[in-house]
A and B are shown apart, each in its own frame.
Chain A
Amino acid sequence: MKSVLKVAGIGALLIAFQAILAPLTLIPSLAIPMPYVLFWLTLPFSWEGRLSLMAAFIYGIILDIFFPPHGLQTLCGLWVWAVRRLWLRILNPQLSPDSEKAFSLSSLERGEFFAYVFPLTAWHHLWYLFLARWTIDGNGLIYFTLSTIYTFVWEWIIFELVLRTTNARA
């Protein structure tokens, strides 16, 4: 129950960020921050697969209701949800099933956080920006690169301010 509340709280915080701060912090035509990707990465591996999947889907739907293009947040978020376990196993080939279940984003070191979150954010943005623009060109690649970096910066800030702090309290 506690983990459910924690995940719901992070989700609400990220949606609030996207609604209030993202329009203020975006750099027009260069980069847009989308740190809401963090939600799909904070879903615990200890949760049953279908429950975790439904949580990922519902979060995407909520985002889609508020932010256009409708449907795209869910689509890209489910890709992140699907790939994150594989990426974790690539990063930690020796990880046992029990350790995998106990994995928590908030317990990562800064370097580990970068190695885990940055590629998955890039994976999300690759899908998102390609589908949102429907073209691959130089401007699109620059926008993708800068947005990924900029989003990661905000993810890092949220990680340092919120996730690590909550973990320390726990």
Chain B
Amino acid sequence: MRITSWLQLLLSAPLLWTVLQVIAFYTYVYYTPVAGSTIKRWTMQLTSAFHELFYQVRRPWIALSELERVHKLNSELMEALYLIACSEGPVSLPFGALGDLDFLSSYHFIPAEITYQTFHFRENYAILNKGSRDGVAPGMGVISDRGVVGVIADTTATHSVMLSIFHKEVHVAAYLPQQQVLGITSWREPTLNRLTLEYIPLYVPLSVGDEVWTAANSLIFPKGVKIGRVKQARMDLARGFYNIEIATYLDWHAPGPLYILAPRMPRRS
């Protein structure tokens, strides 16, 4: 009896009309690329405006936390300076995200901040407060002061969508600088701040703590941007490769200030 009444409700003319309209609208959007892209663009603009509003509201708190971070960094730098002054031998200085400084001449850095980001999905992304008006274009890499963060997927005039390295379809060409071996990162399992490095052959000598940088054959990142360190390596004898777990330098819950890597145009002679 109850099922019958539910069925009657489902088949009532207004509800049926709504369902049929949804089917017709979906068909229309599916077969009409202009409509699909326009709706996507509107949705993105609306989402950006919505998050921009929240970002403006949250700005004082962001500024306070940034101030706290700067104070902390300042104290660390003061400490490092003190250690340099006190040391007798060579002192290793942190170079942040950059393992190899050769590429600095061919890129410029566009500073950006996150106005919105997701944490719980298999396809994590963030909206950045810089867009095509600032020179950002899809396909550009994004780094923080710690290492690789993600890839720009789409832009509006004022905002851009960045796919995180913690996105199931984002893979970065990587290499082990100590061993000079190429591999590919992927986020196969939804683990916090962990990536998998694949296609490293079993004959390569590995040890926990080895650094992982971006490789020269990456189409997005220049060679030598830090990704993370080897946390654990398991042998996959069936495939003849290691399954390497990397602990990323990036903390997705606190990515900090970001920099978009914009390639410099070659100068005309």
Indicate if the CB atoms of B35 and A53 lie closer than 8 Å: no
Is there a chain B Cβ closer than 8 Å to A75's Cβ? yes
Q: Contact at B38–A134, with CB atoms within 8 Å? A: yes
A131, B35: Cβ atoms closer than 8 Å: yes
Evaluate contact between B20 and A70: CB separation under 8 angstroms. no
B17 at the interface (CB under 8 A from A): yes
Q: Inside 8 A of B20's CB, which chain A residues have their CB?
A: 53, 57, 74, 78
Determine the chain B residues whose CB is within 8 A of the CB of A69 once the complex forms: 28, 31-32, 35
Q: Does A11 contact B (CB under 8 A)?
A: no
| Residue ID in chain A nearest B35 by CB atoms | A134
Contact, CB under 8 Å: B13 / A71? no
Residue B109 lies at the interface, judged by CB distance under 8 Å to chain A: no
Partner of A60, one of B24, B31, B32: B24
Interface of B is mostly: helix
Given A69-B31, A134-B34: A75 in contact with B16 (beta carbons within 8 A): no
Q: Tell me whether A71 and B16 are in contact in the complex, defined as CB-CB below 8 angstroms, given that A131-B35, A134-B35 are known contacts.
A: no
Q: B26, B27, B34: which has the most chain A beta carbons within 10 Å?
A: B27
A: interface residue count bin: 10 to 19
Report B1-58 residues with CB < 8 Å from chain A CB.
Answer: 11, 13, 16-17, 20-21, 23-32, 34-35, 38
- Tell me whether B34 and A71 are in contact (CB under 8 A): no
- The CA-CA distance from A57 to B17 in the complex, in Å, is 9
Is A74 a contact partner of B17 (Cβ separation < 8 A)?
Answer: no
* A15 on the B face (CB < 8 A): no
With both chains docked as a complex, state the minimum distance between the C-beta of B175 and any C-beta of chain A, in angstroms: 47
- Residue A72 lies at the interface, judged by CB distance under 8 Å to chain B: yes
| Neighbouring B residues of A79 by C-beta, 8 Å | 21
A72 touches B13 (CB 8 A): no
Q: Is the CB of A71 within 8 A of B31?
A: yes
In this assembly, does A49 line the interface, its C-beta being within 8 Å of a C-beta of chain B?
Answer: yes
Q: Which A residues touch B11, using CB under 8 A?
A: 50
Chain B residue at minimum C-beta to C-beta distance from A69: B32
Cα A72 to Cα B34 in complex, Å, equals 13
Q: Which residues of A contact B25 (CB under 8 A)?
A: 71, 75
Interchain CB contact under 8 A, B21 and A78: yes
The answer to whether B24 touches A49, judged by C-beta atoms less than 8 angstroms apart, is no
Q: Chain A 35-64 against B: per-residue CB contact (8 Å), 1 yes, 0 no?
A: 000000000000001100100010010001
Q: Is A68 an interface residue (CB 8 A)?
A: yes
| B29 CB, nearest partner CB in chain A, Å | 8
CA distance A142 to B29 in the complex (A): 25
* 4 A-B pairs with least C-beta separation: A71-B28, A71-B27, A49-B13, A74-B24
Given A60-B24, A69-B32, 11 further pairs, Cβ under 8 A: A49-B13, A50-B16, A53-B17, A64-B27, A70-B28, A71-B27, A71-B28, A72-B32, A74-B24, A78-B24, A134-B34
